[in-house]
A and B are shown apart, each in its own frame.
Chain A
Amino acid sequence: MRTSQTAWTGADIFFECLKREKVEYVFGYPGGAVLKLYERLYDVDFLKHILVRHEQGATHMAEGYAKATGKVGVVLVTSGPGATNTVTGIADAYMDSVPIVVFSGQVATQLIGNDAFQEADIVGITRPITKHSFLVRDVKELATTIRKAFYIASTGRPGPVLVDLPKDVVASVCEFEYPEKVELRGYKPNFLGHQNQIKKAAEIIKNAKKPLLYVGGGVIMSNGERELRLFAKENNFPVTMTLQGLGAFPGNDNQSLGMLGMHGTYYANQAVNNCDVLVSLGARFDDRVTGKVDSFAPNAYKIHVDIDPTCIDKNVVVDLPIVGDVKHVLAELASELNEPSNLSNWWEQINKWKAQCPLYYEKDDGKLRTEYIIERISEKTKGNAVIVTDVGQHQMWTAQHYKFNNPRSHITSGGLGTMGFSVPASIGAAFGIKDRPIISISGDGGFQMNMQELATAAYNKLPIKFFIINNSFLGMVRQWQELFHQEKYSFTDLSESNPNFVKLGEAFGLKTFSTNSPKQVDDILDEVFEIKDGPVLVEFKVVKEDMVFPIIPSGATINEIMTKRLDPKEMI
C-alpha cells in the first residue's frame, strides 16, 4: 500500500495508470512474479479483474473485448509459463491488428538471465509478434512505459504491446508523476492521406466504368463504417469485404457482394476479376484473398488506402497508394465525388453473376447443415448479434451466410487462424457488449482447445450462446484431404474420441441442448435467446462430409473455382 502522496510502490503506480487509461477489465491469472500486483489489486475497485483458466484464454478475451468495443484489451499474467502461454494470443492479435497490452511478470532484475524459477525471456520470445515491447528496469520508468504501451497499441495500425514487469520493480518505491504526454520521436502514425493522391484517386474513380470497393478490417478499426456507407451508397458502388471487413457494410444491402477470396462468393470474385478500378480500403491483399497474385484483378487500376506503409506493394503492386487513416480518406474521397456515374451496365453484369451462381447448399434431404443453422441465426438476430467464430468450415459458412449489419460484430481469428479462439474471445466480447446477443460458434475440434474457459463464462454469468458445430471431424482439413490429398483422412476423424458435449456443458453448470434435426433448430434458438442469466451450450450434430463451397484452391485463379461437390457421375 502506498504510504504517502509522494512514495508510491510500482504496484500503486501500475493500477493508477490503468485507471487513467480507463481500463474496465483486466483478464489475468496470478502467480509468483505478480503477487505484489495482486496484493494491490485486492483493494482496487475501479476495474474488474477477470480470472481466466488459462493465459491463452486471457489474451483471446482481451482480443474479443478489443474487437467488440474498439478499446484496448488488457492482460496480466505471471512470468515464465504464464507469459509463454500468452504467445498464441499475442501472435493472433499481431496478425489481426488488435490493440491489446499484455503485462507479464518477470523474475527480479538481478535474477534475469540466471535461469531463475519461472523465468522466460518473454520480450525476446514475443519480439517478432508484437508491435512493440518493453522491459521495465526501473520503477521510475513504469508510468511512462505504461502510457507508451497503450498509445502504441491503440494508434496507427493497432497491435499487441508487451510490458515485462520484474518482481522487484513493482515492489520498489518512487515519487509518482503521471506523464501527460507521450513523446516517441520514432513513432508518428500517419493520420491523413496525401491530398494530391486523394484527388487523383477521386478522378480515376469518377471515370471508372466497373469500380469495386474491396473493404478490409481497417475500415472497422478506424470507425469508418459511416463514411464507407455514404461513399458506397451515394455512388452506387458494389462492395466486397474480406473476412475481417464483414460488418463494415451491411450484408443484406443489395450493393454488398459478400466476402471475396478463397471461400468468397462467385459474384464477388468475378467482380474482382472484371473490375476496371479496384479500391482497396484497409485491406492487405492477403493470399487467402488474392489467390494467384499475378491474376488478381488483372484489368484493374488498383488504389490502395492503408495506414501501414509496409502493406503497400507488399503482396500486390498497386497503381496508386494512399497512406492514411481510411476514415479520413473515405470522407475526403466522398467530398470529391459529386455526381454518381451511371453504373447500370456493370450492375447488370454483377446481377447476372449473382443469379448464375448464388451461395448454394442442399436443403431438401432433411439433414442438418451448418449453412442452415447460420441462416436461421442470422434471421432470428436480424444480423445484429456479435458473432465470434473459431477457425475452419463453420467460420467460412458463418462469413458467407450471416448477414452482418454492424461493424465490430464479426469477431474471428483471420490472419493466424487460431483454433480455440472463439470460446475465450466471446467471453471478452460479452464483457464489452451488454445490449446485443453474443454468440460463439466453434467446431468440435476448436471448441476443445480452450473449453476450460466455460468456467469463466459460467462464473461470471455471461449470457453467451456457445454453439458447437459438431461434424465429428476437423472439417476443413478433411475437406482439403478429400480435394487435394487423395482422400487420406489422416487424423481428422474425431468421432471415436470426442467427449459428450452435453455432459461437458453440464459439468461447467451450463444449460445444454443438442440436436441433429433441422426441424428443431428454430425452437432451440428461440429458447436459448430467452436465457439471459448465464451461458448456454448447444451442440448441433451436422452432416459429416459437407464441404465449404465455393472454393478457389490455394494459389489458383477464379477459373479454377469449385462451386459444388462434383457428382461422381459427372466426373466420368
Chain B
Amino acid sequence: MKHTITVLVENQFGAFNRVATMFSGKGFNIHSISIGETETPEVSRMTIVTEGDDKIMEQVVKQLNRLIDTIKVIDLTGQTRVERELALITVYYQKGTRAELISICDIFRGNVVDINNKTIMLEITGPPQKIDAVINVFEPFGIKEMARSGTVALKRGEQLNSEKNLVTQ
C-alpha cells in the first residue's frame, strides 16, 4: 500500500541526504520525494510517497524519527489531507490536433505555458491520480518530455462541528 509521509527536518547541510541514505540503506522504496521550505525558514518539509506493508511502514516512520535532524514525522495515510502534484508536459502536435490538446488541457484545468511549431507545453496541477490520467490522455499524441514535481501534502484543518460553529458566531 502507498503511504504519504511528511517529514519536518532541520533545513541544513546533509539533512536530505541522510533521509535518502536511510531509505536506500534499509531497502525501502521511494515513489516520489519533494522538499522545500516551510513557514519557518530553518525547517524544511519533505513529502515522501513510499510503499510497503504495515511492518515496513512502522520501520520507515521509526527510522525517520531516529535521524537527529528529523523534527517530526507524520504518516498522512488514512488522514484527511490535500495532496497536489505539478507536471510540465511537452506534447507533439500535428495539423488539427493543437486545438484538441488545448481543449483537453482545459478539461483538466491546466495551462498552456509554451508553444512552438512542433510542440506545446502544458502545466497541470492536481492529485497524483489526476496527473496519471492526464498523461494517459496525452500519451497517444506523443509526449516529448515530462517533469513531475512529486507529491506535496498537508493535513486538512480540523472540521469544526457546524452547530458549535453557530453558537460561537
Contact = CB atoms under 8 A, between A and B. Distances in A.
B17 A127 contact: yes
B71 interface: yes
A105 B9 CA distance: 27
B13 A137 contact: yes
Interface stretch (A73-81, A307-315, A365-373, A403-411): A307-315
A187 B15 CA distance: 14
Interface string A299-322: 000000000111011100100000
Interface string B41-76: 000000000000001001100110111111100000
B25 interface: yes
A184 B68 contact: yes
A124 interface: yes
B109 interface: no
Contacts of B97: none
Contacts of B70: 186
A150 to B, nearest CB: 13
B14 A123 contact: yes
A543 interface: no
A313 B55 contact: yes
B68 A309 contact: no
A569 interface: no
A131 B63 CA distance: 12
B83 interface: no
Given A127-B17, A185-B71, 20 more contacts: A123-B14, A124-B17, A127-B14, A127-B21, A131-B68, A133-B14, A135-B13, A135-B14, A137-B13, A152-B68, A186-B10, A186-B68, A186-B70, A186-B71, A309-B62, A310-B59, A310-B63, A310-B66, A314-B59, A317-B55
Nearest to B20: A127
B140 to A, nearest CB: 44
A132 interface: yes
A184 B71 CA distance: 9
Given A127-B17, A310-B59, A314-B59, A132 B68 contact: yes
Nearest to B15: A186
Nearest to B65: A309
Given A152-B68, A186-B70, A128 B14 contact: no
12 contacts: A123-B14, A127-B14, A128-B21, A132-B68, A152-B68, A186-B10, A186-B69, A308-B66, A309-B65, A310-B66, A313-B58, A317-B55
A123 B21 CA distance: 12
Given A128-B21, A314-B59, A309 B66 contact: yes
Nearest to B70: A186
A128 B14 CA distance: 12
A317 B13 CA distance: 36
A270 B17 CA distance: 45
Nearest to B17: A127
Nearest to B22: A128
B18 interface: yes
Interface in B60-104: 62-63, 65-71
A570 B15 CA distance: 60
A interface, size bucket = 20 to 34
Q: Which of B14, B22, B70 has the most CB of A within 10 A?
A: B14
Interface of A: 123-124, 127-128, 131-133, 135, 137, 152, 184-187, 308-310, 312-314, 317
Nearest to A148: B68
B80 to A, nearest CB: 27
Nearest to A131: B68
A127 B25 CA distance: 10
Nearest to A135: B13
B72 to A, nearest CB: 8
Contacts of A128: 21-22, 25
Contacts of B55: 313, 317
Interface centre among B9, B22, B62 (most CB of A within 10 A): B62
Interface string B1-35: 00000000110011001100110010000000000
A127 B18 contact: yes
Nearest to A311: B62
A186 B67 contact: yes
Contacts of B10: 186
B27 to A, nearest CB: 12
Contacts of A309: 62, 65-66
Nearest to A129: B25
Nearest to B66: A310
A135 B17 CA distance: 13
A293 B65 CA distance: 26
Nearest to A317: B55
The 7 closest A-B pairs by CB, nearest first: A310-B62, A128-B25, A132-B68, A186-B71, A127-B21, A187-B68, A186-B70
Contacts of A124: 17
Interface string B136-157: 0000000000000000000000
Contacts of A152: 68
Contacts of B17: 124, 127
Contacts of B58: 313
Contacts of B71: 185-186
Nearest to A185: B71
Contacts of A317: 55
B132 to A, nearest CB: 33
A404 to B, nearest CB: 31
Nearest to B13: A135
